[in-house]
Amino acid sequence: MPFDLDSHSLPVIFAASLVLILGAGEAGHWLGVRAARQGAAAVSTLEGAILGLLALMIGFTFSMALARFEARRDGAVIEAAAIGTTALRARLLPAPHDRESVKLLREYVQIRLDLARAPVGPDAFEQAIARSNLLQEALWRQAQAVAAKDNAMVPTGLFIQSLNEMIDDQEKRLSAMTNRLPAVVIAALYAMSIMGIGFAGYGSGVESKRTRVPVYITGILVAAMVLLVLDIDRPGTGFIRVSQQPLSNAAATIDAFPAARP
């Protein structure tokens, strides 16, 4: 997308949306006044149809954004459960692999909590994921070392199984985080908003008895709904965020583990 909305804060986007949408209403009103002087007929039917399409477009994009938000929320819960299970099974490994594995998992979950506490740039995010991959490789080497000693051990098999699930869950969560609303959908939402409020302003200009106050109110509401859609679609930033409590609980559980056996 030529214009990256993620590089701007939500209040700035809301202000710009208000200018565009209310400006379209004013432009439409001015054109409606000119048309009324020339004897143009009212366009109430067309205005209602376009506003109906705008409502449908807002509902469509809101549903898409909400589905992606729920996928990110479910991803956090599933990954936290996988990390917690892996940590519990790591304690069953023989020393010193149990201590080393739990230590690696403690750092692994802490990386995710650090990413969630404050917005980070693309470079920092990529570095965190790269560090997570290194920790996964270190955990896998621990499993290999234990399996080389006795590949018939049940705890080792259980640990490897949960470790595989934890690695898979990271990929699923990353996929959910990068699955955003297509740029063409956001552009269509703005285009329909501008067109809808523009026609509402045009109708108020054609019909001299109508006031512009409903157009202003509708424009503000539309801009607020657009902001809500963009907020829900943003992972990790904005006013609406995915709760990281499951990961916090997993980290607290790992920290509360008693000292590993010598």
Tokens of 3: 């214009």
Model pLDDT, residue 262 = 47
Dist CA 111 CA 257 (whole Å)? 19
Q: Is the link from the previous residue into 96 a cis peptide, with omega within 30 of 0? A: yes
Q: Is pLDDT at 249 greater than 60 in this prediction?
A: yes
226-252 burial code (b ≥16 CB/10 A, e <16): bbbbbbbbbbbebeebbebebbeebbe
Dist CA 157 CA 152 (whole Å)? 8
Distances (CA, A) of 227 to 55, 65, 124, 214: 15, 12, 26, 20
Q: How confident is the model at residue 1 (pLDDT cuts 50, 70, 90)?
A: very low
Q: What is the Cα Rg of the chain in Å?
A: 27
Model pLDDT, residue 119 = 65
Nearest to 97 by CA among 148, 57, 54, 55: 148
Model pLDDT, residue 135 = 94
Model pLDDT, residue 235 = 81
Model pTM score: 0.83
Q: How confident is the model at residue 114 (pLDDT cuts 50, 70, 90)?
A: confident
Dist CA 108 CA 27 (whole Å)? 55
The residue that leads in pLDDT, 88 or 35, is 88
Dist CA 258 CA 262 (whole Å)? 12
Find out whether 237 and 119 touch, Cβ atoms under 8 Å: yes
Model pLDDT, residue 6 = 78
Out of 35-39, 107-111, 155-159, pick the least confident: 35-39
Out of 18-27, 77-86, 96-105, 251-260, pick the least confident: 251-260
Q: Is pLDDT at 28 greater than 50 in this prediction?
A: yes
Find out whether 228 and 59 touch, Cβ atoms under 8 Å: no
Model pLDDT, residue 118 = 65
Average pLDDT, the chain: 87
The DSSP-derived string for 100-159 is: HHHHHHHHHHHHHHHHHHS---HHHHHHHHHHHHHHHHHHHHHHHHHHHH-TT-HHHHHH
Q: Is pLDDT at 141 greater than 50 in this prediction?
A: yes
Model pLDDT, residue 42 = 62
pLDDT digits 0-9 by tens, 42-65:
677 777 888 899 999 999 999 999
Q: Is pLDDT at 144 greater than 80 in this prediction?
A: yes
Out of 63-67, 100-104, 123-127, pick the least confident: 123-127
Q: Is pLDDT at 201 greater than 70 in this prediction?
A: yes
Q: Is pLDDT at 197 greater than 70 in this prediction?
A: yes
Q: How confident is the model at residue 38 (pLDDT cuts 50, 70, 90)?
A: confident
